[in-house]
């Protein structure tokens, strides 16, 4: 079964750092992109960025460039999303999702993780 399994919920204070993970299984992890999507409480979906684990090619949505860092470790089929200094406004559910090899002309994300809830509060 093709699946993406994300790390558990996190509660952090403003200014703290955080790295959440997304582990793929059931398919060739290095042959598909892994993207990250934010959903703030009660709100819609926002695309953040994407990584190709095969060569770590990483692209960011202009809206999130410089705000987060995406990385991957292909040896353990895991992608990551990290923050160096969290803000209260980073409170959201974060989803990882699989994307086909072609980005220019996107059929978007066909497999989604279960989501990781990040709460940032003093």
In the complex, the residues that contact other proteins under the rule CB under 8 A are 37, 44-47, 59-62, 95, 97, 103-110, 112-115
Note whether 79 and 22 are within 8 A (CB). Answer: yes
Which residue, 107 or 122, has its beta carbon nearer to other proteins?
A: 107
Which residue, 75 or 102, has its beta carbon nearer to other proteins?
A: 102
Which residue, 5 or 85, has its beta carbon nearer to other proteins?
A: 5
**Shortest spacing between CB 122 and other proteins, in angstroms:** 28
Note whether 69 and 1 are within 8 A (CB). Answer: no
- SS3 string, 47-96, reads EEEEEECCCCEEEECCCCCCCCEEEEEHHHCEEEEEECCCCHHHCEEEEE
Q: What are the angstrom distances between the C-alpha of 13 and each of 20, 89, 119?
A: 15, 11, 8
Which residue, 62 or 122, has its beta carbon nearer to other proteins?
A: 62
DSSP reduced 3-state for 30: helix
**Shortest spacing between CB 72 and other proteins, in angstroms:** 18
**Shortest spacing between CB 34 and other proteins, in angstroms:** 14
**Shortest spacing between CB 100 and other proteins, in angstroms:** 9
């Amino acid at each position: 079964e093709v699946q993406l399994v994300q790390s558990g919920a996190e509660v952090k204070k403003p200014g703290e750092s955080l790295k959440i993970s997304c582990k793929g299984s059931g398919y060739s992890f290095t042959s598909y992109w892994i993207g990250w999507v934010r959903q703030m409480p009660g709100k819609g979906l926002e695309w953040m960025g994407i990584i190709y684990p095969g060569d770590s090619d990483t692209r960011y949505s202009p809206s999130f460039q410089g705000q987060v860092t995406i990385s991957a470790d292909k040896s353990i089929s895991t992608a990551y999303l990290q923050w160096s200094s969290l803000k209260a406004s980073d409170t959201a559910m974060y989803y990882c999702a699989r994307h086909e090899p072609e980005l220019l002309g996107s059929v978007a994300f066909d497999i989604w993780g279960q989501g990781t809830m990040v709460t940032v509060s003093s």
